[in-house]
Amino acid sequence: MGIRVLLADDHKIVRQGLRALLEKQPDIEVVAESENGRNAVRLAAEMAPDVVIMDISMPDLNGVEAAKQILDKSPDIKIVALSIHSDALFVTEMLKSGAAGYLLKDCAFEELVRAIRTVLDNKTYLSPSI
């Protein structure tokens, strides 16, 4: 069975690009996409992904709060933040919410795949620039 991923980002082009790249991996399947945090919480409960790739700045429930709610209901799901924010406050808040990884949006795609595999191995992944 492959790695099931939920993409949560308020920018459609970002979700579409990530889906196109991730689905080129033979063992990764994007099972759902969400444009806001509230919908991400609902989809995580319905679809039971292995990993949620979560933007922090989203409407209707930010990524920090969405991550907390997802992990309250499904603690086995791994959350990887994917954000433009490198400030320590954002990183700290996301990790406090239970996220297992934090990547900056200027990372290479290969780093995202490495982060997914790292968190599924029950390790924390942080972008080297963090």
Phi, psi of 7, deg, nearest 5: -100, 125
pTM of this prediction?
0.95
* Per CATH, domain 3-125 is 3.40.50.2300: yes
Provide the residue ranges of all domains of the chain, joining segments of one domain with +.
Answer: 3-125
* Structure confidence at residue 20 as a pLDDT band (50, 70, 90): very high
Q: What is the mean pLDDT of the chain?
A: 96
Q: What is the predicted pLDDT for the residue at 129?
A: 84
Percent helix, strand, coil in the chain, to 5, is 40, 20, 35
**Average pLDDT, stretch 72-89?**
95
